[in-house]
Each structure stands twice: as structure tokens, then as C-alpha cells.
Amino acid sequence: MNLSNKKAGILNPWSFLETEFNYREVSAWKDFVRIDQSFIRLAFFLHFLVYFLALIPEIQKSAHGTIYFGLILSLNILSLVLSFQRKYLPAVIHGTNFSIIFLVMLILNESFYSFDDLHSLQLYNNYFLLVGFLVLFQMFRLKVKGCFLTATYSIVLHLGFIYFKLKNGPLPGFPLVLFVPDVVYLILSLIGTTIVVIVRRLVRISSELDSEYRFLQHELQIARKVQETLFPEDISIKGFKYEVFRSTPNEIGGDFYDFIQLREGNTGVFLTDIAGHGIASALVASFIKIMVATMPYRLKLHPVRLLEYLDETLLRQFKSHHASAVYIFFDFISKEIHFANGGHPYLMHSQNGNDFREIETTGSILGFGIKRPIAELVSLPIQSAERLFLYTDGLIENRNPQGKQLGSEGLIEILNRNKSFTDLKQFKEAVQVELSAFFGDAEFEDDTLFLIIEME
């Protein structure tokens, strides 16, 4: 049931509970003045349960019962009014509690005034156990001494009543059964105090965790800004146009791409997917970015050698991390495309507006040193308007609300249904619309990236 759909108003219990006990923030649990205000207002609603005592036949015969119940109502109304200020709330709470406990005991004392045997005395005494709920109710204030203080004056009041009850009564002495309510008050105060101590400790721990979480979130936002600087800016590259899409479930991720400007106007395109996601993957991706930028120039002209260099370095530096990658070298002098695929999803290719197809290649994951050469070299002639679609496996392995994966076949179908869009940006947007329709409300669980390249 959604409480927010209920009609607002202080007389509406659903609205009252929603607004008065909205403690989603940890800091609210440390505002004891606000907690006391909520306590008084909750007590106002719960105090109506006291009037169920009027159903007891003996109490119905009380000469002053109506007056006592009226005083109880007046005290609760007064405390409710005083709850809208922030001063003297503890005094208001304990003053009201003391007065109400006194009046309840007075009603019981007057209603069960005469008794002739131990059985009738026990019946009289058992009704005093009801005061124990007022003792335990103090734990909602999260004050360590609240339950003890309430139990103390409850015990004093109860002992006073039974003293005057038996001072000149028909039963000799003070039977031990009379002290059962006092033992109950003490036990309940111990239980309530223990709960308060535990809750306050949990609040303190939650506050510390909340501070740590906020600090980490702040650090991750900074890390995201730093990582964003590693990605290439929206630049114009002679020879082709491109569009890119990125999504990460965390602030930072392990999917990465880069454009490598080479001599004679040639260009390299590097795309990698670090295993896993999160901080560790993002750090390895940043390391690979630096490696690609600082490696010997001659390796940037040979896709297979570039991947082998990364494979050896990852194996030596990060034995527990591995990655898939694809590197494309656009040689605009010879008008050829050379690329190698190291365990990455197959590159998708479309010529002359024809259907996209996968270019199947062999190659192993980087970081294991599995074989040499690490991947086969594939060469294609550069043709005007041909398109290349590169992506990471988060795109095809994510599941929609029905638990179905898109898969490479589903991705090819989406690409081919929208291949007629000649404008690259419109093509990307159309693909995104279909991806959104497939995944619905399901978020990407893994880092996801795709890069579309169109030759000029």
C-alpha cells in the first residue's frame, strides 16, 4: 500500500505515519528533539487505547472514572500542543507520563477498592501490569534513561497505592504477589534500555557508513571526471565519421576506446573491454590507455604486434586481470583497413548500404599469453560510405525484463533494419530506440560501449 496515496491531514493515521516518521536520512535519527516531538504525537494517538479500560465492569462503576479519563485526554491534548515547540520536551513527556500513570492507577485503585481474599487482590494487582506498556513505550525516544526513569516513578506510585490499600486492609502483611508489577516494570525497563543502546549503536554505525559512502561517492565522481579526460574528445578525423555510445552501472568502468593519430594522416582505433567492472577495471583501462599512448610507434602500425605487446604487459603487470581488445589501423595511403581481434566480439561490417555481417576472426584474450601470434591480421579495402560497428559484450549479454539476451544475432537484425539511414547520427539514434524497446526498464548490468565508424 502506498502511503502517499492517502489523503493528507493530521487526523489521517496514514498521512501522520508517513510525514512524522520519515527517517530515511541517518541524520534524522540523531535529532532527538524531533524524535521527542514524534513520540508525543504518536502517544496522542495511542493513548486512546487507555479508554478500553472502561469496558471492565468494575471500572464502569467507578465514581470518578469519567473525570479521570477526561483529565487523561486533557493532558494528552496539552502535550500534543506543546510538541510543536522544541523546548522542555523531556519535561512535557515525563510530566504527562507521570500524571497519566498516576490517574490510571487511581482509576484501578478506586474500582477495585474492596477485596476479601488473595484471589481478588491478585485480580486487582494484575491490572497494574498494563502500566508496563508505558514503561516500554519510552524506548521509542532513543533516550538511554527514559525507560528507567519511567519505571522508577511507576514503581514508587504502585508501592504507594498498595501501601495505603493494605494499611488497614483485611489481609495481613504485604503478599509477595503484590510486587509482581514492580518486577515487570523493572524487567521492561531493562529490555527497553537494551533496545535503545543497540539502536543507538546501529545509528552510529549507520552514520559512519553513510559518511564513508558519501565520501566514496564523491571520490568516484572525481574519478569519473578524471576517466572522462582519458576518452577522446568529440573531434573531427579526416577519412571517417563516428558516433559512440557508453553506459556504465558504476561511476567508472572498464570499457574504453581511443583514436590514435598517426603520420601521413593515418589513424588507429583501439577498443578494449577489461574483464569485470568497477574501480579495478577502470584502473586497468587507464593503464592500457597509457600503454597504447607510450608504446613504440612501429607497433601502432601493426595491429597484431600492438595486441601482443599489451598481452605481454598485462601478463607481467596484472596477472589477475585480462581484457579483450580490437585494434584497427586505417591506412589512407594504401586505402586499406588492417585490424586484429584479441578475443573481442566480432566486428560488424556493411558495404555499399548492404546488410551488416560479422567478420569472423581468431584471437585470444589479452593477459594470458596463450599463443603467438595472438590474433590473425585481417585486411579490407577502404570503400566510401562503408560502416564498421564495434561493441563490447555488455550490449549483447544484458537481459531484458523477460530474461532474454539480445545476442549478436539480435544486434545484427537491429542494425540491418535501420541501415537505410544515410545520416550516421540518425542511424545511431534509430539503433538506440530499438535497443531501448528491447531492454525496456532493464538497466545495463555491465559496462556497455559501441562505436560506429563510417568511411567518407
User: Distances from the Cα of 95 to the Cαs of 68, 150, 151, 379, in angstroms?
Assistant: 16, 10, 14, 89
Cβ atoms of 449 and 392 within 8 Å: the answer is yes
Q: If you write DSSP's letter for every residue of 92-111 in order, what string do you get?
A: HHHHHHHHHHHHHHHHHHHH
Cβ atoms of 309 and 322 within 8 Å: the answer is no
Say what the pLDDT of residue 214 is: 83
Say what the pLDDT of residue 16 is: 59
- Rounded Cα–Cα distance for residues 392 and 390 (Å): 7
Say what the pLDDT of residue 206 is: 82
| Structure-block grid coordinates of residue 65 | 472514572
CB atoms within 10 A of CB 351: 16
Q: Which residues partner with 337 through β-bridges?
A: 330, 380
- Rounded Cα–Cα distance for residues 197 and 271 (Å): 54
- Rounded Cα–Cα distance for residues 203 and 211 (Å): 12
Q: Which domains does the chain have, with CATH numbers?
A: 22-211 (no CATH), 231-455 (3.60.40.10)
Q: What is the pTM of this model?
A: 0.62
Q: Which of left, alpha, beta for 142 (phi over 0: left; psi -120 to 50: alpha)?
A: left
pLDDT in tens, the chain (456 residues): 343 444 444 455 566 566 666 666 666 777 888 888 888 888 888 888 888 888 888 788 888 889 999 999 999 999 999 988 888 899 999 999 999 999 998 888 887 755 566 666 777 777 888 889 999 999 988 888 999 999 999 999 998 887 877 776 665 666 777 788 999 999 999 999 999 999 889 888 888 887 887 888 887 788 777 777 777 877 888 899 999 998 887 767 778 899 999 988 899 999 999 887 677 788 888 888 888 988 999 999 999 999 999 999 988 887 778 899 999 999 999 999 999 999 999 999 999 889 999 999 999 999 998 888 999 999 999 999 999 999 999 899 999 999 999 999 999 999 999 999 999 999 999 999 999 999 988 888 888 899 999 998
- Rounded Cα–Cα distance for residues 199 and 197 (Å): 6
| Structure-block grid coordinates of residue 275 | 574483464
